[in-house]
Amino acid sequence: MTGTKIFSHAGEGAWTPTPDGNRRRVLLTTDELMMVEFAFEKGGIGAPHSHPHVQASYVAEGRFEVTIDGRGEILDAGSSFIVPSNLVHGVKALEDGRLVDSFAPQRGDFLD
């Protein structure tokens, strides 16, 4: 585990623009697991997509309409959801908000 960052403090890490107009920053990562924070402005869309990674998400702030495999729910701060591998999913920010997502295994495409 030598050299692996195992702690992250508030405000660390640079924000990167996402292709759909939001922002993300990688908080922590190993080959097996990655934690990423996403920031959305009201009306921001996380475009529907799928990936082989299992995703667990926590609504840290705000209110989101979340759709997974055609099923939608409104989730407020403190709520969470899980996306099994390869299911189409997306979000819409109903107000300014942040999601904290964990991916297993690591999303290498977020490190480029």
Measured between alpha carbons, how far is 2 from 98 in angstroms, rounded to an integer?
A: 31
Predicted TM-score (pTM) of the model is: 0.94
Q: Which of 64, 108, 66 is nearest to 87 (CA)?
A: 66
What is the reported pLDDT for 5? Answer: 92
Query: How many CB atoms sit inside 10 A of residue 22's CB?
Result: 21
HSE-up (13 A, CA, CB side) for residue 17: 3
Res. 3 pLDDT band, cuts 50 70 90: confident
What are the phi and psi torsion angles at 40 (to 5°)? -130, 140
What is the reported pLDDT for 2? Answer: 65
What is the reported pLDDT for 1? Answer: 57
Measured between alpha carbons, how far is 82 from 101 in angstroms, rounded to an integer?
A: 9
Q: Report the Cα–Cα distance between both ends of the chain, in Å, rounded.
A: 22
42-101 confidence digits (pLDDT tens):
999 999 999 999 999 999 999 999 999 999 999 999 999 999 999 999 999 999 999 999
